[in-house]
Amino acid sequence: MNYNKIAILVLLSSHSVAALADCAASGSNDVANCGFENGDPPDSWTLNTGVLTLNMATPKSGSIAAQIDAIQNVPDPFFATIDSDCFAVNDDASYGFGAHFRLLSGATPSCRVTPVGYTSMNCGTGVTALPNSPNVSVPTGVWTQSATTIDASGIGSMHFQLHCSAGSDFVVLMDDVFAGPGLVPVELQSFSID
C-alpha cells in the first residue's frame, strides 16, 4: 500500500471540507444569514413554498439548517422553495454561488439555486437572466452541493431561490448558501494518481 497517496488524498479532502465548512467564515460571502443561524423564521429569507422549521439536529455547519417540508402545487409536483433577500454583487467576471441540500425523508428531490440578477443595486430594475446552478439529486443523509460560477459583469444586485422538487412528498434541509467574487465550488469530486 502506498501511504504517500493516502496522505495526499487525506490532505486534499481535509482542505476541501475546511474551505466550505462554514459559509459565514468567508469574508467574501455576499449572502446574509447564509447558514440560517439568525431569527425564527430565518432573517433575510422568505419562505416561498412549503412548511419551514429550523433544524438543530443535522446542520451542515454551525448550529441550524433550514428544514422545509414540501407541499404540492396541484397539479404540479411537490416543491420546497425559499427566497433570499436582495444583496449587492461585486461586479466580477468570476462570481460563484451555491448551496447545500440534504434529504431527511420522502422522495428524492432535485435541487438547485436559481439566481435573479439586476443591473440596479437594490434588485429594482434591469432584470437579467442568469444560469441556475446544476440540478442535483439529493439522497437521504448526505449533504449535496449545487454550485456554479458565472460572469457577473454588469450585475449590481441579485437574490436567490433555493428550489427542490419531486414527484411526491419529501422533507429537505438547506444550509451553507454562498455567493461572491472568486468563490469557486471546491468539493472534491474525484481523485486519481497514476
Place of cell 430565518: 42
pLDDT band at 12 (very low <50, low <70, confident <90, very high): very low
Cα-Cα-Cα-Cα dihedral sign, residues 172, 175, 181, 186: negative
Picking from 172, 147, 170, 179, the residue whose alpha carbon sits closest to that of residue 82 is 172
Position 186 in a domain? no
pLDDT of 121 strictly over 50: yes
Domain total for the chain? 1
Q: What is the pLDDT of residues 80-119, one digit of tens each?
A: 999 999 999 876 678 889 999 999 999 999 999 999 999 9
Cβ proximity of 175 and 59 under 8 Å: yes
In whole angstroms, give the CA distance from residue 108 to residue 191: 27
pLDDT band at 152 (very low <50, low <70, confident <90, very high): confident
Position 189 in a domain? no
Position 16 in a domain? yes
Picking from 28, 25, 22, 31, the residue whose alpha carbon sits closest to that of residue 160 is 31
Quote the pLDDT of residue 20.
40
**How many CB atoms within 10 Å of residue 38?**
13
Cβ proximity of 184 and 96 under 8 Å: yes
**pTM of the prediction?**
0.81
| Residues written for the chain | 194
pLDDT of 56 strictly over 60: yes
Cβ contacts of 6 within 8 Å, gap of 6 or more: none
Position 85 in a domain? yes
More confident residue, 27 or 16: 27
CA dist 166 to 40, 48, 113, 158, Å? 26, 16, 15, 26
Mean per-residue pLDDT for 144-159?
90
Position 193 in a domain? no
Quote the pLDDT of residue 48.
86
Position 23 in a domain? yes
**Domain range holding 172?**
3-181
Position 165 in a domain? yes
- Which CATH number fits the domain that encloses residue 69? 2.60.120.260
Position 187 in a domain? no
Quote the pLDDT of residue 129.
83
Quote the pLDDT of residue 93.
72
